[in-house]
Amino acid sequence: MNTSDDILSTAAAWMAEGRKVALATVVSTWGSSPRPVGSQMAVDAAGAMAGSVSGGCIEGAVVMEAQKTLQDGEPRMLSFGVTDEMAWEVGLACGGKVQVYVEAVE
């Protein structure tokens, strides 16, 4: 299901259909973040997603950033957490912090 195998397989299947795909990967965590380092999510240009990088708190924001990456081709490092300035919008309810690396497969 949510194993990284399946996310990459899903990404491969999407690309075989001609869809552009970005990958978002948890690269570091502090405190009680819900998904471990290495957790992945695939996002396409239309905003379809597979997998997860948190317990559902930040996936919406990650999808938006991934779509930007699909447009400009630039990888992005995203930080989320209670001390983050974005906390009011997409903070982690659990109080942890997480860094997510977003890149396009091109």
Partner 1 sequence: MKRALFDRLMAAKAGAVPAALVTDLGTGMQSLVTPETVEGAFGMDETLLRLVRARIQADRSGIVEEGDDRFFVHVHNPPLRLFIVGAVHIAQALAPMAALTGYAVTVIDPRRAFATDERFPGIAVNGEWPDDALNALKPDSRSAVVTLTHDPKLDDPALLVALRSPAFYVGALGSSRTHAKRVDRLREQGLSDREIANIHGPVGLSIGAVSPAEIAVSIMAQITAVRRRDRD
Q: In the complex, which residues of this chain contact partner 1 (CB under 8 A)?
A: 1, 3-5, 8-9, 11-12, 15, 23, 25, 27-28, 36-38, 75, 77, 101, 103-106
Nearer to partner 1, 60 or 75 (CB): 75
Least Å distance, CB 82 to partner 1, is: 21
Which residues lie across from 29 on neighbouring strands?
Answer: 98
Least Å distance, CB 15 to partner 1, is: 8
Query: Which residues, 6 or more positions from 60, have their beta carbon under 8 angstroms from its beta carbon?
Result: 90
